Structure 1
C-alpha cells in the first residue's frame, strides 16, 4: 500500500518508516471520516495510551531509582496526560496529516487538544503494532525526552499545590466554577473561578477548562504567597 507524500514526510518527522503503512493511515483517521471500508483510530488510541504508560513507567523508574510511588505518580500523570500528548502532536505536525470529516475540519479539528492527544496515542499504537515495543519506545523517548528530564518541575501542577496548601491549613479542597464561555465553538474561551473555603478567590481564562483551572489556581497561589511573604 502506498501512502501520500504528506504521510511520508510525517514518517520522517516521527522517525519511523512503516512496513504496514495502513496502520499509519488508520492512526490519522478520525471517526468523523470513517466508513465500513475505512477504520478510525479509536481502538488504536486505546492501545497507545497503554503503551505510552508502560514506556513512561519504565523511563521514570530508570531515571530515579530511589523515588517512591508517591513521587513517581505525579510525574507519570504529567507525562501521559492528554495535554502533553497534544503538545507532542503539535511539535511533529500531526494535525496537518489528520483525516477529518468536513464538519470537524470547519470547527478547527486540527487544533483541538483532545483530538490531537487521541491521535498521538493512536500513532504510538500504530508504531507499536508495526515495529514492536522497541520502535514505540524509541518514538516516545525521542519526542518526550526533554519533558522526562524536567518532569520534576512540571509534575506538581498549580491545582495540586493549591489543594495541598488548603489541606495543610485544615480547609476543604478548593472549588472550581465556570463563570463564562465565549468565542466560537472551534476556539472557545473559558473563564474559571477558584475559591477557597475561607473565601479567597481568583479567576483566569484559557482555551480549555483544565488550562483555565490551572491558571486560576496559579494566580491564587501567587497571591497567597505574596500576602504571606
Structure 2
C-alpha cells in the first residue's frame, strides 16, 4: 500500500487488529492517519479539523497523563525530578516514532503526493505525530481504558526493563551513584512474601558541623527472616543509599540462589 494515499477498509481492519481496538467511529482512525499534505491537496488547508494535527495535540496530553499515572504506580519511591526524566524518555519524539514504526503506521498514513514522494511514510516525525493522534483517537472512541491499555502495552512495556535499569544505575537523574532506595522499594514490591517496607533508622552522627558523618541502619522483614544492613555517609540520604544498596545486593543474591 506504499503508493496509496488513502487506506482501504480491510487495511484499517489489519491496523485495528495490530493496536487491539476496533473503532466504532472509523472516521476517527482515518483522521488520525491523515497528514496535512493530503488535506492541503484536497483544498481543506483552511480547515484545522481536516488533518490529524488537532488529534496530535490531544494525544500529546493524553499520553503524558497516562505515562505519568503509570510511572507513579511503577516507581512510587521516585522523586518528582526522577519521574519527570523517566516520562521524558517515554514521550520523546524518538520513542514515539519507534512505536509508530513498530506498529507499521507508515503503511496506513494518508499523505499528499509531495509528502509521499519525499518518503513521508518513513519519516520519524510523521510516525511520532501519527502515534499521538492515534492515542487521541483511541481516547475519543474507546475512552480512558482503551487509551491506557495502548499506552501501557505499546509505549511503556517495551522500555520497562530499561527504565528500571536507569533508576538503579542513576541514569534517570544524572547520578553515577544510582538510586538504590527506589530500586530496593521496587524489589520489595515485587516480592509477595515481603511483610514490611524498608525502615531507615539514624543511629548516630559524628564529627563537626562542617564534616558530619551519618550512620544508618536499615531493617526489612521478609519471609526468610529480617534483613539488617548499615550505611555511612556525609548526609542522611547518602547513608540511606549505602544501606539500601547493601540490602538490594543481598536480596538479589538470595533470589539468585533460590532460582
TM over 0.5, yes or no?
Answer: yes
Query: Structure 1 residues 105, 131: CA separation in 2 closer, same or farther (over 3 Å shift)?
Result: same
5 Å-filtered alignment, 1:72-221, equals: 72-144=83-155, 145-153=157-165
Query: Structure 1 residues 154, 3: CA separation in 2 closer, same or farther (over 3 Å shift)?
Result: farther
Query: Structure 1 residues 65, 80: CA separation in 2 closer, same or farther (over 3 Å shift)?
Result: same
Name the residue aligned to 1:23.
Answer: 28
Moved more, 5-14 or 145-154: 145-154
| Structure 1 gap ranges (5+) | 166-229
TM-score between the two structures when normalised by the length of structure 1: 0.65
TM-score between the two structures when normalised by the length of structure 2: 0.58
| Structure 2 gap ranges (5+) | 1-6, 177-259
Q: For 1:18, what is the secondary structure of its paired residue?
A: coil
Q: Which has the larger radius of gyration?
A: 2
Select the residue among 8, 13, 16 that pairs with 2:18.
13
Query: Structure 1 residues 17, 139: CA separation in 2 closer, same or farther (over 3 Å shift)?
Result: same
Q: For 1:61, what is the secondary structure of its paired residue?
A: helix
State the shift of 1:39 in Å.
Answer: 1.4
User: Aligned residue pairs: how many?
Assistant: 161
Name the residue aligned to 1:54.
Answer: 65
CA deviations 1:191-228 (Å, max 9, x no partner) are xxxxxxxxxxxxxxxxxxxxxxxxxxxxxxxxxxxxxx
State the shift of 1:89 in Å.
Answer: 0.5
Kept after mapping to 2: 8 A contact 1:75/1:152: no
2-structure distance, mates of 1:153, 1:106 = 41
State the shift of 1:146 in Å.
Answer: 2.2
CA deviations 1:56-88 (Å, max 9, x no partner) are 001110001111012111100000011111101
State the shift of 1:148 in Å.
Answer: 3.0
2-structure distance, mates of 1:152, 1:113 = 26
State the shift of 1:147 in Å.
Answer: 1.2
1-structure distance, mates of 2:75, 2:159 = 15
Name the residue aligned to 1:174.
Answer: none
The Cα RMSD (Å) is 2.4
